[in-house]
Structure 1
Amino acid sequence: MSLVVEALCVGLPKPFNGAELSAIDKRPVDGPVTIRSFGLEGDMVADTKHHGGADMAVHHYPHDHYAGWGKWLGGHELLARPGAFGENVHASGLVETAVHIGDRFRLGSALLEVSQPRKPCWKIDHRFGRKGMVARIVKTHNCGWYYRVIDEGEAQAGDALQRVETGHEGWSVARLFGKLYDPAQRADSAELDGIAGLGRLSAELRKSAFDKLHR
């Protein structure tokens, strides 16, 4: 399958909450952008403890969810443009239930691999000025996901995002997110063992599953 990327977005750290910085405010890039192993050129993270690195190089949040958020929020100006959720890849037609951990996608001349779901944090609530957004993400599993960069390359808005290889079948981004973060779907021992063995899942989440299993 393939779809057209509507925008590629980057951002630099800016004051966000008092003295705290965040690069969640991302804006579309005009023209081609180079995709490096650390992410899109011109994009940065402020909180290097919780964001960035090879397993969180490129963030994809489905534009498909914007309409639902608009209804839930009663409208919001951030939803009128790409990058509202701090995503680098802004596209429609691909959601968490249809993406597997380890799926590989060609974007321009770059090759990307799905590495983990995005765990939502308080910055989403703060950015939109509305409490309860993180809780809604946990309940719906509309979390978005991260790619690692297998082959560096160049891409731009209007390019196709084409799945070229399926990863861990049975482990969609939505299912994995639910097992790790949704109290209503918490993983049992067999599922934790399965998660710990997903070779294309980020090392951090595999270790987390292993540690939970052996507590």
Structure 2
Amino acid sequence: MRINTILTRIALLLLPVLLWGCDYGNVIQGRVVEFNKETGIITFIKEESHDRKNPRYTALPPVTMRMPKDPHEIGPLPTPGGRIELNVKDNFVLVYDHDAKNFKKIPFTPVDIMTDVGRSHPMVAGKTFPIIEKDKRTVQVYSGRQRLLAKFTVDDDAIQLPDNTWIAGDEVRIFYKEEGQAARFMNITLTDIYKK
């Protein structure tokens, strides 16, 4: 038997032993529902579908992590929000209820639903959403991911909710090795990973 074959077999036998105990880290993705800039603590709802085109932010309980210690590992800071899902097929908004630590489904009546609306569209560009008219009980929101501009009415209780209830928190991706401590933070809502 040739020496190269023997060395290769020994290397293959030793490889699992050498790799055992190595921690390469983990990646987690979520939608931000709370962010404390002073403490650097971020709370988000974990994505569980692993479908890049149709993510599902529905895993409870929320995940809480501390931002990376190295400031060079932190991308644009996140904007938190309560809106988890905007469903114009079944006419509801799924929001995260901080007090109940659970989701709440808010039904709505559509007023105007526009599809295929890009961020540069005149109805969206330069505007800040949500646009809330409490006297008319209307809320207008924009979803860049869905390319959807939706205006709808809600009941008296829902229109009294805080404005950030209707904001979709930024989508983030975090690399970590230690539970509760991010090693790298990326705001994928504000970062175009395909831009050259």
- TM-score, normalised with respect to structure 1: 0.24
Higher strand share goes to which structure?
2
The structure where helix makes up a greater share of residues is 1
Q: Which is higher, the Rg of structure 1 or of structure 2? A: 2
